[in-house]
Amino acid sequence: MTYIGHGGKEIVERVLEPEKAAEAIKGLTPVPIRGQIAREIIDIAYGFFTPLEGFMTRADVEGVCNEMKLANGVLWPIPIVFDISTEEINEKGIKEGDKLLLTYQDKPMAILEVEEIFTYDKQEMAQKVYGTTEDKHPGVARTYNYKDKFIGGKITLVNPPKINPPFDEFFFTPKQLRQKFAEKGWQRIVAHQTRNVPHTGHEWLMKGAWLSTHGELPVEKTLTGVLVNAIIGEKRKGDYIDEAIVLCHDVLRKAGYFREDVHLTSITLWDMRYAGPKEAVFHAILRSNLGLTHHMFGRDHAGVGTYYDPYDAHRIFDQIPEGALNIKPIRVLAWWYCPICGEVTYSGLCGHKEHSQNFSGTLIRSIIQDGVKPPRLIFRPEVFDLIMECAEKYGFGSAFVTDRYLKERNPVFSLPDMKY
């Protein structure tokens, strides 16, 4: 079966069979990599980033920064780069045409074919991708932290990661996920992007998006599904712990707030860039590779601070040429609590704005951090109880990321031992 992904290209899979892998890496220069690069290797190797087959060359980066396109003309909004210092290049004698063995957790992980070694003005990259050069913007700070050179070239995974519990049951490659959708009989699937434990505002966003997505389809069979796709990447102190995010989304279905046959939780490994509208396009590409047909975008999608207008991430889709993106945006306003209606309701429908009670993920985190159990109309009790359980089981007593969690948490994935 052929699986077509973004740009009309077949879903990329660049994973070497184990018997060939040991032989292929013999004698290659090892280069240790950090978590971000390891996560992106997994994304490239399994096709989450189709049509990318490796880290971008200068022509790709230029195209992405200047025109939001890869060198081959395919829509792409965020550079995916492999950075390296001049010192390391010199020390290891790395040159174009070489193959490098990328290692992570002191184990072999992937081969990088050095197609091009190049430099790029990081300030220019920041301005063009994020619309600012201020290092207070986390995406800009990440860009400035890149080392001074970049290597463009294909990667091949030689040591597939073992996804550790509790994440293992939520990790699906694009091909696996598409098979799962086919088994479920879903013809349309809408993505809910998340980095949060769900409150009922999120729950209703998903339900509203499901209704929009289902549209004119017949109702006798379940033909439409919601895919919660949690972004798992670098954590910051104060964030919800990853385990709570994933398990609490899943419990919405287990506790019956979603029917068993309409809801699925999954993860994608990615370090958020907070690029607002550009990241919204990136998320749409990512989810189209997962086989989704629709993507819900709420208020201030992937934004940070006041760098973007809350609905910039909606408007950017008006600028995308027809056919460049194989997924439909579902654009939604916030849901709020209305004491007159006595329910959580859609701000685009409720006429009691002056009485409305807004709530954000941040506000709910603040309530939980105060040791207060929010009302069930705002936060499902099953979710609250599970957060507390996750805090004990995974978070060293805290549902939020602490220094200890950052140091001692069980990794999301591990690389197996490999003889070579």
Partner 1 sequence: MSITINIWINEERYEKLQKAGLASMAEEALAGLKVIKVPCTEEQKDKVLKVFPTAKYDSATTRSIELLPREVKDKIFDLVVEKQSMDVMEDFLKNY
Q: Which residues bind partner 1 (CB under 8 A)?
A: 237-238, 299-300, 305-306, 310, 337, 339, 357-360, 362-363, 365-367, 369-375, 377-378
Cβ nearer to partner 1, comparing 274 with 359:
359
User: Of the candidates 205, 214, 222, which has an alpha carbon nearest to the alpha carbon of residue 334?
Assistant: 205
Cβ nearer to partner 1, comparing 284 with 304:
304
**Rounded least distance, CB 372 to partner 1, Å:** 4
Burial class (CB in 10 A: 0-12, 13-18, 19+), 323: exposed
DSSP secondary structure, 295-346, as one string: EEE-TTTT--TTSS-TTHHHHGGGGSPTTS-SSEEEE---EEEETTTTEEEE
**Rounded least distance, CB 307 to partner 1, Å:** 11
Rounded to a whole number of angstroms, the CA Rg of the chain reads 22
**Rounded least distance, CB 348 to partner 1, Å:** 16
Cβ nearer to partner 1, comparing 2 with 362:
362
Q: Point out which residues pair with 31 in neighbouring strands.
A: 102
Cβ nearer to partner 1, comparing 85 with 357:
357
**Rounded least distance, CB 357 to partner 1, Å:** 5
Instruction: Give SS3 for 370.
Output: coil
Cβ nearer to partner 1, comparing 254 with 409:
409
Q: Are 419 and 22 in contact (CB under 8 A)?
A: yes
DSSP secondary structure, 13-82, as one string: --B--HHHHHHHTTTPEEEE--HHHHHHHHHHHHTTTTT--EEPPHHHHHHHHHHSB-TTS-B--S---E
Cβ nearer to partner 1, comparing 165 with 342:
342
Distance between CA atoms of residues 134 and 354, nearest Å: 36
